[in-house]
Structure 1
Amino acid sequence: MPPQPPPIQEPSFPGESELSEDERKRWLILHVALPRTIMTCDVAHGRSTEDELNDALSSLAWGSIDEEGGEWTLESPDPCLEPPHSSLITYAEYVARTYPADPTMEDKAREENIKLATEKRCCFTCAGEPGSKFRPMYDQMIKNLQHSNKALAKAFNIKKVCLKEDEVPEDPTKTEAQNIMRFGRHQILPSFWYMLIQLTKRGRRFSVVFRSFSEEQLLQAQKELQLFAQCQHPAYNGQNKTQKPPLMDGNKGSRDMRLSQAAIGRMDRMGGFLRFRDRPAVETPAEPVPEASEPQADVPEAAFRPTEYTFPPYHEAYAGLMHQIFETANTAAIVDDLAFWETHERASTAGKMLLVDRAETKVQHIFFDGNVEKEDAYCVDVRNAVNGETISLDRASNVYLHRVDFFQAVTDVEYFLKATEACELAMSKMIVEDRHAEGVVRSLSEEEQKKAAAAAAAMTPKEWLYRNIIPALLPALEACQRDRPEDPIEFIAFYMLRHSKQYSKSLKA
């Protein structure tokens, strides 16, 4: 039988053929919040896994309010992000209305209401509570989190699942693997590990940025990631009837997905800087990574240099992460500024900052966070790295920002992979639509062209330069200095061409 030609892959949407190969398989920068996203507890706010599961379900349960008694009654049969009917509200929203925490209130009354609201949400599915009918969903989440592998349970003497982290503190006399297993369940969701495995097997270029308000919780995630990347994670090492993932530690030609101390940054929104630990003065490319048992081996202090990116403007922090931190690492982390967010009434514009370059079509940043609300980014501040402007929730949703359904993330092992694919598809469509729209905009009428020419002619040469050239030229020169291209003139020309429509800064003479 003659060899059969490979099947023709149908485009996933009209216009996909207009994208280049690099645009279809973009470099993915996956920003991943820890609590209520890939981890089950919230260290920054002192909430256990038991609290977080209840709290998460309270924001996925929709009900109605009795007009006479003002009580909330569950109406939705299953947890979901969207309301089955527009008249329904979540239990979490109902509690927020019942116990308001308005900034105009006295501090004592406000703090008391915050405490009462939290207590209500954290016992949502308990007997006698409004969400008791959701107890089977709560139990399903626990079932998906526990280690059902009998051989693994026997090897680590797992007899029950612990949902309150403070009841089983870490034991310094035990190994990291033993401490990871001390709760008898997953601390990092299997759906996150599954995404890393599948993206690696597909040969995709991707990087991960852990985002957390708690350095303590970040260090917990770091320990678990190191073991997973080295195929030494007790639940993912090929022993005790577990599956073994591909290596991700830089050995045997693999990409090094471990998180080094040098790639952990701290965000200071008040001071306006993103600071990483001093980094080696002599850098080596992230790929290929030489075989090593530990990432970023210790070197003399004299070989380190400070790494700090200031903002605004924001292009320095964006370029620093993309072209310096990711030059020597594939995984980074940012400890976000909790105090700044809370002192600014938990507004999204004071939250975890995500910088994106909307002109860059070969890179896609996706921020996964389970605390994002339906009509409010809440704790994530999505900004244009070029001009610093906030990107609206409508524009960012399911392209740069993914609101995590925590119930699905726990119960569906493919959740994060499917969410990533959906965001990729949405960005591909957006690129094509923007190009078509830009083509329409460029087709100016003859009268509009004359007006634009007259306005430009009325400016002095200096005014014209400050309005049209300087705003793009300054960051272009910085990028040129950073990247050291073979042809600087061509590099600057293309940089300015890509960003010409995005600068809104006006510089005074």
Structure 2
Amino acid sequence: MGEESNRIRTVRIERDRRMLQVMFNGELDSLSITTTVDKQMDDNSNISGSVKRNDKQRKLILHFDIRNTVIVADSITNVSVEQALNSFLTGVTWGKESDDGRWVWYSDKLSLTPPSEDTITYYKHLEKMLVKTPSDRAKLRLQTGDFTQSEIGKNFLPYFNQHMNLLRWTHAYEQNNECLTMKGIDGQPYHYLLPAIYKCIHKLYMDNRDFAIVFRTYGLDAENVIASLAHGLEGNHPGFNKRVAISVNRTPGFIRRSDGQCIKCEIHGNEDSKDLLQTYTGDRDVYNVLSQCNGILGFKDDFVYWQNNQYHHTAGKPLFIDPFDCNVHHIFFDDNIRTFEDDNIVDVRLFETKGAKTARSLSKVEAASFENVCMVQADLIESIESDEYYTAAVDKCEQNYSKYLMKWHGISRGLSLNGFHNFGVL
């Protein structure tokens, strides 16, 4: 009888492992999921109540890239609003290279993702031709800056005109609110920060949510963006004139990476001081400090490390996910999140056991399962068109994260009880 029970138990475990291989895209061995009954039962007794909590009760840590995510043109590179929008459009228009090297359009529609497997963006086409060294990117910016005014991009001019009109500052222009706008080549003021980010923050504040806005950039524009946003949230933005009482750390910190070394996070502990720098080292400590952030702050990520590693996603901006911590939800918005390409800008890192000190960098396929859960490829076009864009995206991610946590902890508990049959999956 004992041998038969053990045989049935073994069959069930193997069946569940095969099921997990399907659900986790064949990466089961590296998931380090244990089937030890006592450990899993103990873990689940501590977290089951938290998993079932309303997704609106979790603290939100919203990571935002800056250019092409919350602004169109930055205030550092002297690229105009018109040039920046044109350059962005080259990254959402698709075609193919003919055998003789000529560019052939595949579609006259805008898309964040390839409309066909054998298509590339016009931006990638130009990048391949023009960029041989990092300094060549200046040529690329110049080449893409008048895209819709050139012969090859003229079919996309209506998109350009439509979104320039939507970006136009239609409120009375006041000198003391100059930091809320950017002047275009035409001399007209345009929104510096997109209204969608203001709408999102105001909604979270009015809902009394516990949240932080964390700007994550490879550039030098975080300080200016934070200053502009802080000014607007004081009630100075004519479109959002209710004051948001929120802490602001105006001095960006750093997230540093190096081969064979732990990820480091350097943050200024005092809102008004550039001298009080605190350093946190290792996945767990960096995750903890980011999870404890409040208000508005920013970090400069390690572009040199990403560049030195051929822009591979495992060297990008780290995003930590801990499914055992059900009190915090991290969401990363970046226009360069592309899970279908190796140069995805975000390195999704998963803590696979409760309290683990290190997190595993996920494969492209695994990371893709966290789209619209913990990361969103920011759509500049949609965020210009709709003030509700980020509010709706956060809401969708929260719903999906609740489903993910239920699935994760359901699988964990099911394994500990030796079979999905114990909780009704099969």
Cα displacement string for residues 12-65 of structure 1 (whole angstroms, at most 9, x for unaligned residues): xxxxx9953344532111001111100112467664433321221112112244
The structure whose Rg is larger is: 1
User: How far did 1:431 drift?
Assistant: 1.6
User: How far did 1:222 drift?
Assistant: 1.5
Separation of aligned partners in 2, 1:195 and 1:390 = 30
Aligned pairs for 1:105-504 within 5 A: 109-110=132-133, 114-129=137-152, 131-149=153-171, 152-153=172-173, 156=174, 175=176, 177-181=177-181, 183=183, 184-215=189-220, 217-233=221-237, 235-236=238-239, 243-245=240-242, 247-249=243-245, 256=246, 258-261=247-250, 264-270=252-258, 272-279=263-270, 296=271, 306-311=277-282, 314-323=283-292, 326=293, 329-376=294-341, 378-384=344-350, 386=356, 387-392=358-363, 393-444=367-418
Q: Output the amino acid matched with 2:345.
A: C
Separation of aligned partners in 2, 1:344 and 1:430 = 31
Separation of aligned partners in 2, 1:47 and 1:351 = 24
User: How far did 1:86 drift?
Assistant: 3.7
CA spacing shift, 1:87–1:305, aligned 2, 3 Å: closer
- What SS class does the counterpart of residue 366 from structure 1 fall into? strand
Contact 1:144–1:410, Cα closer than 8 Å, also in 2: yes
Separation of aligned partners in 2, 1:227 and 1:346 = 35
Separation of aligned partners in 2, 1:112 and 1:225 = 31
Separation of aligned partners in 2, 1:225 and 1:140 = 25
User: How far did 1:185 drift?
Assistant: 1.0
Separation of aligned partners in 2, 1:44 and 1:227 = 19
Separation of aligned partners in 1, 2:97 and 2:392 = 35
Q: Output the amino acid matched with 1:260.
A: N
Separation of aligned partners in 2, 1:437 and 1:33 = 33
Q: Output the amino acid matched with 1:125.
A: T
Say how many residue pairs are matched.
354
Q: 1:450: which partner in 2?
A: none
- What SS class does the counterpart of residue 89 from structure 2 fall into? helix
Contact 1:92–1:121, Cα closer than 8 Å, also in 2: yes
CA spacing shift, 1:79–1:178, aligned 2, 3 Å: same
Q: Output the amino acid matched with 1:383.
A: R
- What SS class does the counterpart of residue 21 from structure 1 fall into? coil
Q: Output the amino acid matched with 1:142.
A: M
Higher relative contact order, structure no. (Cα contacts within 8 Å, ≥ 6 residues apart): 2
Contact 1:261–1:277, Cα closer than 8 Å, also in 2: no
Q: Output the amino acid matched with 1:91.
A: Y
Flag structure 2 segments of 5+ consecutive residues without an equivalent.
Answer: 1-48, 184-188, 420-426
CA spacing shift, 1:306–1:115, aligned 2, 3 Å: closer
Once superposed, what is the RMSD of the aligned Cα atoms?
Answer: 2.9
User: How far did 1:66 drift?
Assistant: 3.7
Contact 2:339–2:368, Cα closer than 8 Å, also in 1: no
User: How far did 1:194 drift?
Assistant: 1.1
User: How far did 1:186 drift?
Assistant: 0.5
Separation of aligned partners in 1, 2:316 and 2:155 = 34
User: How far did 1:115 drift?
Assistant: 4.8
Separation of aligned partners in 2, 1:335 and 1:18 = 33
**Percent of counterpart pairs with the same letter?**
22
Separation of aligned partners in 1, 2:338 and 2:75 = 20
Q: 1:454: which partner in 2?
A: none
Q: Output the amino acid matched with 1:137.
A: Y
Q: 2:40: which partner in 1?
A: none
- What SS class does the counterpart of residue 136 from structure 1 fall into? helix
Separation of aligned partners in 1, 2:190 and 2:134 = 33
User: How far did 1:368 drift?
Assistant: 0.3
Flag structure 1 segments of 5+ consecutive residues without an equivalent.
Answer: 1-16, 102-108, 157-173, 237-242, 250-255, 280-295, 446-509
Contact 2:348–2:362, Cα closer than 8 Å, also in 1: yes
Separation of aligned partners in 1, 2:254 and 2:370 = 24
Cα displacement string for residues 114-168 of structure 1 (whole angstroms, at most 9, x for unaligned residues): 4554443333212312x2111111111111111124xx14xx4xxxxxxxxxxxx
Separation of aligned partners in 2, 1:315 and 1:18 = 20
Q: Output the amino acid matched with 1:178.
A: E
Separation of aligned partners in 2, 1:375 and 1:182 = 34
User: Among residues 72, 94, 103, which one is paired with 2:125 in the alignment?
Assistant: 94
Separation of aligned partners in 2, 1:356 and 1:111 = 32
Contact 2:50–2:326, Cα closer than 8 Å, also in 1: no
CA spacing shift, 1:276–1:148, aligned 2, 3 Å: same
User: Among residues 109, 113, 117, which one is paired with 1:78 in the alignment?
Assistant: 109
Q: Output the amino acid matched with 1:308.
A: T
CA spacing shift, 1:60–1:322, aligned 2, 3 Å: same
Q: Output the amino acid matched with 2:244.
A: M
Separation of aligned partners in 1, 2:157 and 2:112 = 18
Provide the TM-score with structure 2 as the length reference. 0.74
CA spacing shift, 1:70–1:36, aligned 2, 3 Å: same
* Range with greater deviation from structure 2 (384-393 or 421-430): 384-393
CA spacing shift, 1:276–1:269, aligned 2, 3 Å: same
User: Among residues 10, 17, 20, which one is paired with 2:52 in the alignment?
Assistant: 20
Separation of aligned partners in 2, 1:274 and 1:32 = 17
CA spacing shift, 1:438–1:348, aligned 2, 3 Å: same
Q: Output the amino acid matched with 1:388.
A: A
Q: Output the amino acid matched with 1:310.
A: T
Q: Output the amino acid matched with 1:148.
A: T
Contact 2:55–2:398, Cα closer than 8 Å, also in 1: no
User: How far did 1:349 drift?
Assistant: 2.2
